[in-house]
Structure 1
Amino acid sequence: MKHLKPGDVAPAFTAQDQDGNTVSLSDYRGKKVVLYFYPKDNTPACTAQACNLRDNHALMLRQGYVVLGVSADSQKSHKKFATKFNLNFPLLADEDHTILNAYGVWGEKKFMGRTFDGIHRMTFVINEKGVIEEVIEKVHTKRHAEEVLKM
């Protein structure tokens, strides 16, 4: 798996969020985008990560950041997840792995002795010009917003 690096131009994408809105990276030109990839809706680490971003969302917005979550879950799954945890940012459905592959976060994983293909939890911070400024490969799910804001 070869993911994108700081200095790379962030690949453009368009996807549906949990409410059926069409969201494109280009919609956020001029803003800093926190594009975070996570394995699965409603799992413990992913929930901790989403709730941490939710709890710090106002602070992140004040500092000029927009938060977008991406997983291979369906729009319906995202809707349940967002409603259950009162998430206040878009979750993009990437069931065909277009965005996951573009950013290089889909690939071989090992868990409990098993090897399988899946999403590597990773966050890309994209600057106002659409260039990747930072890549967080080892995400601390319970304090993810703090990791982004300290940059």
Structure 2
Amino acid sequence: MSRRLFLSFFLSLGLAVFSLTLTSPAWALGGKLPTLNQPAPNFTLPTNSGEGKISLSDYQGQWVVLYFYPQDFTSGCTLEARRFQQDLPKYRAKNTRILGVSADNIQSHAEFCDSEGLKFPLLADVDGKVSKAYGSWLNFISMRHTFIIDPDGILREIFLGVNPALHSQEVLARLDELQQTI
């Protein structure tokens, strides 16, 4: 395949996906979202450390920000991860843990964490099973969605189609509100 044809194909594919996102709500593309104020779907996934797996139930008694993102090392995903890392002390002060999820494998996650100095776990959802359970799957990648889960494992907030540059601050603000009312 010639380079021009290859680029044309991916440009057309990108435009098709973009137009689909403009005409369909984000949740419709990723599947059925879990229900607010109900138990969050539990999961167990391998982590970037390669030393085992992490389950949502491991964080009982703590708030969890579970964020799904498309791919390690891409500009938007890198910016979003950097913002969460920058604000990590604020999250920890609020008894909150950050968990990132994408379809990348643990090796990619490990390299991404090393490259960006990330001190929170990235989980490898290579088959998309967890992303699907959270309505955040689009063919072969996780969509940019975030979920706040309370210390009892109850889903309290859903963010769809987030802006990576501002998202961590939005999550912190909503977390403040939730922690004052729940």
TM-score (norm 1): 0.90
State the 4+ residue runs in structure 1 displaced beyond 6 angstroms: none
The one-letter code of the counterpart of 1:78 is H
Question: How many positions carry a matched residue from both structures?
Answer: 143
More helix by share: 2
Is 1:135 matched with 2:158? yes
**What CA deviation, in whole Å up to 9, does each residue of 1:29-85 have, x standing for no partner?**
010000000000000000000000000001111011100000000000001100000
Matching residue within 141, 144, 147 for 2:170: 147
Identity, % of aligned pairs?
39
CA distance in structure 2 between the aligned counterparts of 1:147 and 1:140, rounded to whole angstroms: 9
Contact 2:128 2:140 in 1 (8 A): no
Aligned counterpart, 1:111 = none
The aligned residue for residue 47 of structure 2 is: 17
TM-aligned CA deviation for residue 8 of structure 1: 2.7
Structure 1: gaps of 5 or more residues: 108-115
- Return the offset for 1:117: 5.2
Q: Which amino acid aligns with 2:114?
A: T
| Residue 34 of structure 1 pairs with residue 57 of structure 2 | no
Q: Distance in 1 between matches of 2:169 and 2:155?
A: 18
Which residue number in structure 1 is paired with residue 22 of structure 2? Answer: none
Q: CA deviation at 1:142?
A: 1.2
RMSD: 1.2
Match of 1:4 in 2: 34
Structure having greater relative contact order (Cα 8 Å, sep ≥ 6) = 1
Question: Alpha-carbon deviation of 1:104?
Answer: 1.3
One-letter identity of the residue aligned with 2:99: L
Q: What amino acid maps onto 2:169 in structure 1?
A: E
Question: Which residue identity lines up with residue 41 of structure 2 in the other structure?
Answer: P
Alpha-carbon distance between aligned partners in 1 of 2:172 and 2:89, rounded to the nearest angstrom: 12
Correspondence list, 1:80-99, <5 A: 80-99=111-130
CA spacing shift, 1:117–1:92, aligned 2, 3 Å: closer
Contact 2:128 2:142 in 1 (8 A): no
Amino acid in structure 2 at the alignment position of 1:106: W
Deviation at residue 5 of structure 1 after TM alignment: 3.3
Bigger Rg over Cα: 2
Deviation at 1:143, TM superposition (A): 2.2
User: What corresponds to 2:148 in structure 1?
Assistant: 125
Question: Contact 2:69–2:100 (CA<8 Å) still a contact in 1?
Answer: yes
Which structure features the higher share of strand residues? 1
